[in-house]
Amino acid sequence: MAKKSPFLGGNLKVVILSLVAATTFWFFNALNKNYDARINYPLEFEFVRDSVVIVEELPDDVLIDVSSGGWNLLKKTFWFSALPLIITLDNPADVKFLTRSSLIPIISDQITDLELNYLLTDTLFINVEHKVRKQVVLTVDSLRVPLADTYRLVSPIRISPDTIVVEGPTSLISSLPELFKVDIPRRNISSSFDREVDIELSNSQLMRALPEEVGIQFDVAEFTNVTLPVTLDKINFPEDSSAYLTDSIIYVNYWVMADELNTVRPEDFTISADYTMAISEDSTILPILLESPPNAYDMEYFPDTLRISYPQIE
């Protein structure tokens, strides 16, 4: 029959209890001694925040080297959250940094249960600015309205209200233009637009628009591209036909609203070619558009240069 190990049963429990007791005694004895330690100690800044804006996140701790009993160090670094060091700023927008020499007395006065050996953090940088407001006029760039292909604006763009107030830190507000462009969020617009649009600020975390959205309205219509042949109006040409135009027709290209397509006729255009304005070097004339219907847009005509012919005299 195998021999039973002396560490089984009750003897094992005695050994474990002895080890726990010894470890506990050593642990508590060690905590009663003094030690040096480096601690990231939490900070809290106190100041009136209604009239300022925190531009960059404030420092949340400082690195200090301290001496104290083990119990105190354990509480500060492990078991319990240390009460933060309070740094009071009377005029936070005027303070750009705090140096080591200015921080040491503040820290020493507040960590009375620890002995401050030295401060490892050299400088705390602070970026807080006065909160100011600026009134700006709103506008929409009509050339950048995201219309669907062949659609165009057919009314002014109406903005309500047409001015807003922007609130934020001095540096950002002072850089705002007097005329603020509002972007249209939709794409491929093919019908009349009437909706509320958010004011998109470059830094919405630090700035705020009052109001935050405005109403924008405008009408659009579909346009069609058309090309028509137009008979030229010849002026001051010789009656004996000793000089004449090679072509008597010119083509006009224009855009018109789709529902007004049939209202534009070739005879609504007057394009002249004046012989007295001929360019002798190359026997050409530049056509001139004299009249056109009011609902034809972006007109072009071709050819844009007319050639004169001189028949040989028999």
Segment 221-232 shows an average pLDDT of 95
Confidence of residue 313 (pLDDT cuts 50, 70, 90): very low
pLDDT tens figures, 36-55: 678 888 999 999 999 999 99
Supply the pLDDT for residue 25: 44
Least confident of 58-62, 95-99, 108-112: 108-112
pLDDT tens figures, 244-279: 888 889 999 999 999 999 999 999 999 999 998 887
DSSP the chain: -PPPPTTSTHHHHHHHHHHHHHHHHHHHHHHTSEEEEEEEEEEEEE---TTEEE-SPPP-EEEEEEEEEHHHHHIIIIISPPPPEEEE-SSGGG--EEEHHHHHHHHHHH-TTSEEEEE---EEE--EEEEEEEEEEEE--GGG--BPTTEEE-S--EEESSEEEEEEEHHHHHTS-SEEEPPP---SB-S-EEEEEE---TTTTT-EEESSEEEEEE-EEEEEEEEEEEE-EEES--TT-SSEES--EEEEEEEEEGGGGGG--GGG-EEEEEGGG-BTTTTEE--EEEE--TT-EEEEEE-SSEEEE-PPP-
Confidence of residue 72 (pLDDT cuts 50, 70, 90): low
pLDDT tens figures, 194-208: 999 999 998 889 999
pLDDT tens figures, 147-187: 999 999 999 999 999 999 999 999 999 999 999 999 998 88
Query: Could you tell me the pTM of the whole model?
Result: 0.70
